[in-house]
Amino acid sequence: MTTFLQQIVNGLSLGSIYAVFAIGCTLIFGVLNIVNLAQGAFFMVGAYLGLEMALLGLPLPLALLVALAGGGVLGMVSELLVFRVLRRRGGHKWMGLVASLAQARLLVGLAQEIFGTSVHGYPSSPVTAIVWEVGGVRVQLLQVIVVITAVILMAILGFTLQKTSMGRAIRTVAFSEEVARIVGVEVGRTILATFFIAGALAGAAGVLLGLLFNVVSPFMGEHMLVKGLTVIILGGLGNIPGAVAGGFLLGLVEVFSVAYVSSAFRDAIGFGLIFLILLVKPTGLFSGFEERRA
């Protein structure tokens, strides 16, 4: 039972990071019906921005805000210089997929030139040393901070989408760009805001993962991108609650597979379970924008 509860704690902290990253990918898919493969690179850049701010002595909350802003700016650049240009020229959405992949490779190459290929870690902090033991279960203060931060980010996003004019505009564009234009929504600005939010979430997720595992490298985004795409498919294409549920589910499955089977089968078991779920419910755990559009 102690091992089981320990893995629940570990899985929730990991799953919260997956969820934050995945809802950014889900937002873009829900609005434009495309996948931005540069999201993983934004995640990596966010981790490095947070690391550099921490090395400069900034408190972790400020480092997180810098990573949020940096990821958001990269998201806007991706929209302005890649996706918007392709839309205006009538490019197929698969062209955007390839262009975003090229953007990701460019950012990874720049990170290698600036930081090298070795793995870096965040500087030691009193926060990382605080550990509580409750009934034999070890809970790190850092894990609590990661989960709370992730929940706050998801709550802010939920409030923005449901209670603000920008959120209503995003939901309208996600339903239909034509309808959005008819009711007076500035589609271009709304799409730009969506990319900013998605990039900011990716940057924040990079900091959270870098802190939790104390590992930052130029290639960390590629692995996270696969996880994020898996989660949005599992949760239902374009569905934010589904992405949240899928993120936590994947995190729990991974840590339980390491604890009870072997770390070598971590990804195999996780993806295998997801494959079985999708065989039963191909649309994912929740229906998404694709069903509503149909």
What pLDDT was estimated at residue 294? 35
How would DSSP label each residue in 56-106? Answer: TT--HHHHHHHHHHHHHHHHHHHIIIIIHHHHHTT--HHHHHHHHHHHHHH
User: Is the pLDDT at 230 greater than 80, yes or no?
Assistant: yes
pLDDT tens-digit map of 8-55: 999 999 999 999 999 999 999 888 888 899 999 999 999 999 999 999
Instruction: Give the span between the Cα atoms of 137 and 247, in whole angstroms.
Output: 23
User: Is the pLDDT at 102 greater than 90, yes or no?
Assistant: yes
**What is the amino acid identity at position 45?**
V
Instruction: Please report which confidence band the pLDDT of residue 287 belongs to, taking 50, 70 and 90 as the band edges.
Output: low
| Residue showing tokens 């998605």 | 198
What pLDDT was estimated at residue 242? 87
User: Is the pLDDT at 130 greater than 70, yes or no?
Assistant: yes
Segment 148-173 mean pLDDT: 93
Residues in the chain: 294
Segment 195-206 mean pLDDT: 96
Segment 278-289 mean pLDDT: 71
pTM of this structure = 0.91
pLDDT tens-digit map of 244-282: 988 998 899 889 888 887 777 777 877 787 778 778 887
Terminal CA-to-CA distance of the chain, rounded, Å? 46
